[in-house]
Amino acid sequence: MTGVRIPPAAAEVVAVRPSGPLAGSVTVDGSKNAALPLLAAAAALRRTVHLANVPANADVETMLVLLRQSCWSATRVATDPDTVVVKPSERSESAPDPEVAARIRASYYLVPALLRAHGRARLPWPGGCRIGDRGMEQHFAVYEGFGDRVTVDDRGYQVEAGVQPTSTASLALPFRSRGATIAALLRAVVAGRPLRLGQPILSPEVLSVVDALRAAGWRCRESQSRLAVAPPLSASEGTVRWRVPGDKIEAGTLACAVAATGGSARISGVSEEDVTPLVTALRWLGVSAGFDGGALIVDEPHGTHPASHSLRAVASLAPGGLDADFEPPLMALALTRRGAHLFSDAINPGRHGNLIPQLARLGADIHEVSPTRCRFTGPQRLTGAGVEAMDIRTGSTLLIAGLTAHGITTVGGLEQLRRGHVDLPGRLRALGADICEVTS
């Protein structure tokens, strides 16, 4: 495609054209949704932490700014910019700027660290993707379970630290929540108290925090029904080294793009367990996908779709369930596959409302059974049009759809895409996708 190639950060839209089967090898960045709680965990620990594989997407950069505005130093190592060193700074009385904190949902992870630094945390209501009502009452129940005082108003919430006994904090979540599970873990760290948490979620992002605490000397035991952590037996002060796991969602998105174009690729940097539900869905759609030599392999050299079944993709917080963020890219892939497909995301009830009208602009015929559930029959023929990324995963899904549509698709709203990925168009281009950044 002809077009002016400019740095992605300056582009207003990307233009996508069908480019034949994607092929090659690519390595994903570190996961945004794991990096954010790990950075907050480093701050809560108040030790020097070297965190490797930290992606430079917009949400992570926002988190680094928030840490610096509070009382931590958070700097990328000059010789290894993927590594961030977090340590307490000299500043004692400073707090995050609410305007900055409101840009990301994960500002909520900073509450325990702020309690440690200031005895109180005042934050705006979380920002991030506008994908429906996204509550925080489980976080508040966690803090109240630790004896903290929570107050809310129109602009946000405040948590004031309660006096902490040394006894075990015993809490149970009414439903599985990544945010509330990590809130409980980090609150226990700051309180220096053992925690027993019923009904945790053991998603990769949570497990990466558990592993990080283990590396810092905390004693941790986890099962699907209970997560128990206890402080180190002896005080440890030295530097700890953690690593952000590879981005399972970026890997899954690339896999869907490769499969949608009938290509073959080797996607490295992600662990097998983290993409297992995605691989199951890919295979159900007749895609030859699996793990080999530490990489996710998608292999369709002839672009044939041997045994595509009708897919039921239901986002779930249950153990082994399909992460909600896999559902949109799978929808773009299923539009290319034979079958009567059903998609559901009741976790993020505004997601379909963002995505389906944009896919409809490309000509997709999707029947919305309810605001969170839809059906369609594939394969469908899409036609390029101007579309808008309404949230991170809408953006990545529209890139995939654009690769399979006839003609040129332009995707706007790139600031959404950049919140979650350093350069997803660049990753796709590395696999041969015909994508370029354009300004008006």
| Distance of closest approach, residue 249 Cβ to ligand UD1, in angstroms | 8
- What Cα–Cα distance (Å) separates residue 116 from each residue in 14, 41, 102, 198, 238? 43, 12, 21, 24, 19
| Distance of closest approach, residue 345 Cβ to ligand PEP, in angstroms | 11
Please list every residue from 403 through 432 that binds ligand PEP, using CB under 6 A: 420
Written as six digits, the tokens of 55 are: 């992606």
Per-residue burial over 25-64, b = 16 or more CB atoms within 10 Å of its CB, e = otherwise:
ebebbbbbbbbbbbbbbbbbbbbbbbbebbbbbbbbbbbb
d(CA 375, CA 352): 11
| Distance of closest approach, residue 408 Cβ to ligand UD1, in angstroms | 30
Binding partner selected for residue 423 from ligand PEP, ligand UD1, none, CB under the kind-specific 5 to 8 Å limit: none
Backbone angles phi, psi at 427, to 5 degrees: -60, -45
| Distance of closest approach, residue 104 Cβ to ligand PEP, in angstroms | 6
| Distance of closest approach, residue 347 Cβ to ligand PEP, in angstroms | 10
DSSP 400: H
d(CA 302, CA 261): 10
Binding partner selected for residue 420 from ligand UD1, ligand PEP, none, CB under the kind-specific 5 to 8 Å limit: ligand PEP
The contact pattern for ligand PEP, residues 168-207, with x = CB under 6 A and - = no contact, is ----------------------------------------
| Distance of closest approach, residue 346 Cβ to ligand UD1, in angstroms | 8
Of residues 17, 46, 103, 105, which one binds ligand PEP by CB under 6 A?
105
Of residues 107, 177, 380, 416, which one binds ligand UD1 by CB under 6 A?
177
Based on the shown chain and the rule CB under 6 A, indicate whether residue 294 belongs to the binding site for ligand UD1: no
Written as six digits, the tokens of 156 are: 């946000």
Please list every residue from 295 through 334 that binds ligand PEP, using CB under 6 A: 325
| Strands in 210-316 per DSSP E | 219-222, 226-230, 240-243, 264-268, 289-292, 295-299, 312-314
Based on the shown chain and the rule CB under 6 A, indicate whether residue 365 belongs to the binding site for ligand UD1: no
- The 409-412 sheet, strands edge to edge: 386-388, 409-412, 13-17, 434-438
User: Sign of the CA dihedral 244, 426, 386, 18?
Assistant: negative
Of residues 106, 113, 159, 424, which one binds ligand PEP by CB under 6 A?
106
Binding partner selected for residue 178 from ligand PEP, ligand UD1, none, CB under the kind-specific 5 to 8 Å limit: ligand UD1
Based on the shown chain and the rule CB under 6 A, indicate whether residue 36 belongs to the binding site for ligand UD1: yes
Residue nearest to ligand PEP (CB): 128
Nearer to ligand UD1, 62 or 380 (CB): 62
Angle at 36 between CA 265 and CA 258, to 5 degrees: 15
- Whether omega before 379 lies within 30 degrees of 0, making that bond cis, reads yes
For ligand UD1, which stretch binds (CB under 6 A), given 71-79, 226-234, 322-330, 401-409?
322-330
Nearer to ligand PEP, 17 or 421 (CB): 421
Nearer to ligand UD1, 208 or 348 (CB): 348
Per-residue burial over 193-227, b = 16 or more CB atoms within 10 Å of its CB, e = otherwise:
bbbbbebbbbbbbbbbbbebbeebbbebeeeeeeb
Based on the shown chain and the rule CB under 6 A, indicate whether residue 138 belongs to the binding site for ligand PEP: no
Binding partner selected for residue 39 from ligand UD1, ligand PEP, none, CB under the kind-specific 5 to 8 Å limit: none
For the chain, the residue count is: 440
| β-strands 409-412, 434-438 pairing | unpaired
Based on the shown chain and the rule CB under 6 A, indicate whether residue 274 belongs to the binding site for ligand PEP: no
- What Cα–Cα distance (Å) separates residue 244 from each residue in 32, 205, 215? 9, 9, 13
DSSP 391: S
| Adjacent-strand bridge partners of 196 | 170, 228
| Distance of closest approach, residue 328 Cβ to ligand PEP, in angstroms | 9
Based on the shown chain and the rule CB under 6 A, indicate whether residue 31 belongs to the binding site for ligand UD1: no
Based on the shown chain and the rule CB under 6 A, indicate whether residue 33 belongs to the binding site for ligand PEP: yes
| Alpha-carbon torsion angle 132, 138, 141, 145, nearest 10 | -160
Binding partner selected for residue 323 from ligand UD1, ligand PEP, none, CB under the kind-specific 5 to 8 Å limit: ligand UD1
Based on the shown chain and the rule CB under 6 A, indicate whether residue 366 belongs to the binding site for ligand UD1: no
Q: In this structure, are residues 255 and 270 in contact, taking their beta carbons and an 8 Å threshold? A: no
Based on the shown chain and the rule CB under 6 A, indicate whether residue 421 belongs to the binding site for ligand UD1: no
Binding partner selected for residue 81 from ligand UD1, ligand PEP, none, CB under the kind-specific 5 to 8 Å limit: none
Q: Which residues contact 139 (CB under 8 A, 6 or more apart)?
A: 108, 111, 179, 180, 183
Binding region for ligand UD1 (CB under 6 A): 33, 36, 105-106, 134-139, 177-180, 205, 317, 323-325, 347-348
Residues that bind ligand PEP in the complex, under the rule CB under 6 A:
33, 59, 104-106, 128-129, 131, 325, 392-393, 420
